[in-house]
């Protein structure tokens, strides 16, 4: 499952609706709403959760994955060392990060590519990614969703 920054992954695009994702992936393992009334589809088989934002008419806005198959720049991420991930990002032109440091895990945020990576014990345990925003950070830049032939 290759991440396409600002776009989505594989044939799942930010801005899709629930029915679009279900058409591609089948029925989720779980569906729920949080306190903000955002909707989530959870797929245990691919260790991935999709969030549909209420304020954006329930368009797909966030993907959170801990799949063994998730990759960026053609490299699988799960269980990769923090050093290897930083080297991979740097070799692809991304070295400006923000860090959140917790007791036993750290979270890297790279605003340039709307990417969060969680490291537990210096190993990658999951990633989260979002669509891009305009230069003012006010408007979501929804990717063009290709038409599928039925």
pLDDT in tens, 44-73: 999 999 999 999 999 999 999 999 999 999
Residue 149's pLDDT is what? 57
Stated length of the chain: 150
Assigned token pair, 1? 């499952």
From the CB of residue 63, how many other CB atoms can be counted at a distance below 10 Å? 21
State the pLDDT confidence band at 145, using cuts at 50, 70 and 90: confident
Q: How far apart are CA 67 and CA 127, in angstroms?
A: 9
Residue 137's pLDDT is what? 81
Q: Once rounded to an integer, what is the mean pLDDT over residues 119-136?
A: 94
> Bigger pLDDT: 133 or 150?
133
For the cut 60, the answer to whether the pLDDT of residue 104 exceeds it is yes
């Amino acid at each position: 499952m290759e991440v396409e920054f600002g776009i989505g992954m594989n044939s799942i695009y930010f801005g899709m609706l629930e029915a679009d994702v279900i058409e591609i992936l089948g029925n989720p393992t779980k569906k729920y709403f949080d306190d903000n009334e955002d909707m989530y589809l959870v797929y245990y088989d691919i260790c991935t959760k999709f969030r549909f934002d209420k304020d954006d008419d329930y368009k797909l806005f966030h993907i959170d994955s801990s799949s063994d198959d998730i990759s960026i720049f053609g490299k699988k991420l799960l269980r990769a060392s923090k050093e290897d991930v930083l080297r991979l990002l740097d070799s692809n032109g991304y070295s400006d990060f923000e860090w959140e440091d917790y007791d036993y895990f750290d979270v890297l945020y790279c605003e340039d590519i709307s990417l969060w990576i969680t490291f537990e014990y210096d190993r990658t345990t999951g990633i989260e990614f979002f669509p891009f925003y305009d230069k003012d950070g006010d408007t979501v830049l929804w990717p063009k969703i290709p038409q599928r032939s039925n």
